[in-house]
Amino acid sequence: MSAFIADIRHTIVPDLRGRHGPLPPILLSMTLVTGLVDAFSYLVLGHVFVANMTGNIVLLGFALAGAPGFSIAASTTALASFFAGAMIGGRLSTRYSGHRGRLHSSAAAIQALFLAASVALAALSGSPVVASYRYALIVGLGAAMGIQNAAARKIAVPDLTTTVLTLTITGIAADSALAGGPGSKAGGRLIAVATMLAGALIGAVLVRHAPICYPLAIALVTIVLGAVTSRILGSADPAWVHAPASTATLTTGQEQEKT
């Protein structure tokens, strides 16, 4: 139990002189954003995910089968927008490949621009969202989350991909002592799962009981605070901005899942 609690503590309040510095809690905040944004998109924009592309592919399959309540156009728009955002994030990853602090702060700043536009659109549209605003929101949010995912992939803190949790949950079980593994680091992995759950819960509650722009506004503030934090703490070129060779990219399994 002490190791479990220590793992949670080191994820939430890490040693700033450690190999990942402040990146674990920053990526946790991005995981919260994923829950907020996907709660908004699924509940407000009509059964479409803008962050979780695995889920969105499944929803596209439902739409292609003619299942009611699902849209081929919405799902393909989300996929295309996410792809475009990931390309932007990829360019930033190449430009700042040697400095994870600048990579995060730059990617988060551009992501914040897309989120700010989405907040304005959601505030103007009201509820229910009309078709013209709906697709503009899907484009803005999809691009924002594509940027986030590309940056998180390059930042490469293990088990903190900010969006995909399937392998995280698998790791808790498969690496556990009960399964004969070396130990699952369950504390850090579970806090990632709990963070996304919290984001989805908060987003859903706000969509139901408050102006629909509130989840996106919280996401925007969260991303801006993260960008400021990585910019300030990474400005002195500490060791954590340089990715260790063992975590320069995500593991093969993580890359496969995210594709």
Which pLDDT tens digit goes with each residue over 175-213?
A: 776 676 666 577 788 899 999 999 999 999 999 999 999
Domain holding 172, by residue range, is 2-258
Mean pLDDT of 9-18: 88
**Cβ–Cβ < 8 Å for 155, 20:** no
Could you tell me what percentage of the chain is helix, strand and coil, using 3-state DSSP and rounding each to the nearest 5? Answer: 75, 0, 25
Q: Is the pLDDT score of 247 beyond 60? A: no
Give the single-character DSSP code of 241.
G
Q: Taking the C-alpha atoms of 14, 15, 18 and 23 in order, what is their torsion angle to the nearest 10 degrees?
A: 40
Q: Rounded distance, CA 25 to CA 13, Å?
A: 7
Q: Which two tokens stand for residue 108?
A: 């988060």
Q: What pLDDT does 174 receive?
A: 80
Reported as a single tens digit per residue, the pLDDT across 76-88 is: 999 999 999 999 9
Degrees, nearest 5: CA angle 137-142-148? 130
Top-confidence residue, 163 or 27: 27
Does residue 252 surpass a pLDDT of 70?
A: no
Residue 183: its pLDDT value, please?
64
- For residue 47, what are its two tokens? 């059964």
Is the bond preceding 238 in cis, omega lying within 30 degrees of 0? no
Average pLDDT, the chain: 89
- Tally of structural domains, the chain: 1
Q: What integer pLDDT is reported at residue 160 of this predicted model?
A: 86
